[in-house]
Amino acid sequence: MTRTDMDDAVGRALAVVRDGVATLNDDQWAAPSLCEGWSVKAAVAHLVWRVSASSREMIDDIARASFTSRQLNPSHAMADIALSIAETRSTSELVDDLTLISRRISTGDQRGSSPRLLETIVHGYDAAHPIGLRLRFDDEATFTVATLARRTASRDVRTLLRHRVLAASDAGWSIGRGDQHIDGTAESIILYLTGRRSIDPSTRPVRIIAPLRPGAPSPGFA
């Protein structure tokens, strides 16, 4: 993707998340997300912070949160930041934040980037997946994120991808190599690559494409 293409991709992805969460009721906002210990609202708050803050601002925020709560682990500090934002911002304000950030990135006032695209799509799924909300991102964007997620996937996942092909039947792309193909959705494959437990709703009976232990990864970088 060119720089302009990436700006457009991140802006559109943020708009997809915004349109999805704007439909949620209070119970859904308060429901658990795929990130352990986080509600859907906290996952969206984390996304807003990760995509809107500059690298310098993130470092300053993490340092401040680490000092305040005496956290040595940056992931724990980021969890504190997300929970603080979720406590101080209403759900409608978070939706407005997503709208503003999407507009800024789409118009070039703020730069998009592949890490921001990954954060938007993965944490969008974190918020939406467990409450049954299906976010439909652009096919090229999900392929870009899957390619990025593969680089930092766990050893078990990388081993599987050396012998299996995961095919996103709803997005027209695949990742991995080998003679055996496993069909799934773009969502289920990305969640698998990033260590989430995802259930592919397109198969009956429901087939778990990410055979991980129950639970979810610790909040932090996607």
Q: What is the pLDDT of residue 206?
A: 41
The model scores a pTM over 0.75 = yes
pLDDT at 207: 46
Give tens-digit pLDDT for 12-27: 999 999 999 999 999 9
What confidence category does residue 73 fall into, taking pLDDT thresholds of 50, 70 and 90? low
| Edge-first strand listing for the sheet containing 180-184 | 173-176, 164-168, 180-184
* Per-residue model confidence (pLDDT) at position 41: 96
**Side chain identity, residue 19:** D
Domain range list for the chain: 3-131, 139-208
Q: In the chain, what percentage of residues exceed pLDDT 90?
A: 50
Cis bond upstream, residue 115 (ω within 30)? no
Least confident stretch, 75-79, 94-98, 143-147: 75-79
Question: What CATH code would you report for 3-131?
Answer: 1.20.120
- Whole-number mean pLDDT of the chain? 83
Q: What is the pLDDT of residue 56?
A: 73
How many whole angstroms separate alpha carbon 146 and alpha carbon 166? 10
Burial letters 76-112, b for 16+ CB under 10 A, else e: bbbbbbbbbbbeebebeebbebbeebbebbbeeebeb
What is the pLDDT at residue 96?
96
Residue of higher predicted confidence among 82 and 169: 169
Determine the pLDDT at residue 91. Answer: 97
Q: What is the mean pLDDT of residues 193-198?
A: 81
Residues 6+ apart with CB under 8 A from 202: 169, 170, 184, 185
Handedness of CA 139, 140, 142, 147 (dihedral sign): positive
Which whole number is the average pLDDT over 130-137? 92
pLDDT tens figures, 90-103: 999 999 999 999 99
Give the mean pLDDT of 59-67.
Answer: 68
When pLDDT is averaged across residues 107-114 and rounded to a whole number, the result is 83
Best mean pLDDT range from 44-53, 92-101, 157-166, 202-211: 92-101
C-alpha 127/C-alpha 212 separation (Å) is: 19
Mean pLDDT of 2-20: 92
- pLDDT confidence of residue 222: 45
